[in-house]
Structure 1
Amino acid sequence: MTQRPYNLYAGPAILPLEVIQQAQAELLDFAGTGLSILEISHRSKEFDKTIKEAEADLRTLFG
């Protein structure tokens, strides 16, 4: 793909291709578990780590 289209909609914005590619890869193998993030338990250590990292990132972002 040489040029991605522009999106001037009021809704979701265009994401960088790298973000989409990482999401695609994680949907197939989340954090090296061999499972999709859609398939792992919300009580697993990998999911718990992701939630804690997201919360820490939000706290940093919002101060």
Structure 2
Amino acid sequence: MNQVYNFSAGPAMLPAQVLKQMQGELLEYGNAKASVMEISHRGADFMAMAQKSEQDLRDLMGIPDNYKVLFLQGGASAQFSMVPINLLKGKTKANYAHTGHWSKKAIAEGQRYCDVNI
């Protein structure tokens, strides 16, 4: 396989070893006797995979237990509104860090739902 190097914001490049493991588990995930794409997102196999993924990410990044880990689909732009909608829980203010182009978009969307502290 000719390797193409991808330096864009996402999706990220994955090591060949990871791609090979994914390829194998695409057809049969663990002991599920089915593809990872076919198992129920409410089933024990998927829940175990989700819990392990969260713990691995927490360990890798040093995320403490008092922080939530969100695995979200739809790209970042969709989450700019979903995060305040789901996390405000009756609060009227949220804190944002303005770090550049994408945080500016998140702040603008957050302002539709609450008062924003930057």
Calculate the TM-score normalised by the size of structure 1.
0.76
Give the deviation of 1:7 after TM superposition. Answer: 1.0
Give the deviation of 1:38 after TM superposition. Answer: 0.7
Q: Which has a greater percent of strand?
A: 2
Q: Spell out, residue by residue over 1:2-51, the C-alpha distance to the aligned partner (whole angstroms, 9 max, x if none).
A: xx324154254442221111101110001122211110001111111111
SS of residue paired to 2:51: helix
Q: Which has a greater percent of helix?
A: 1
Unaligned runs of 5+ in 2: 63-118
Calculate the TM-score normalised by the size of structure 2.
0.45
The residue that corresponds to 1:7 in the other structure is 5
The residue that corresponds to 1:20 in the other structure is 19
Q: Distance in 2 between matches of 1:62 and 1:5?
A: 28
The residue that corresponds to 2:28 in the other structure is 29
Q: Percent identity?
A: 41
The structure with the largest alpha-carbon Rg is 2
Could you tell me whether the CA contact under 8 Å between 1:42 and 1:48 is conserved in 2?
yes
The residue that corresponds to 1:60 in the other structure is 59
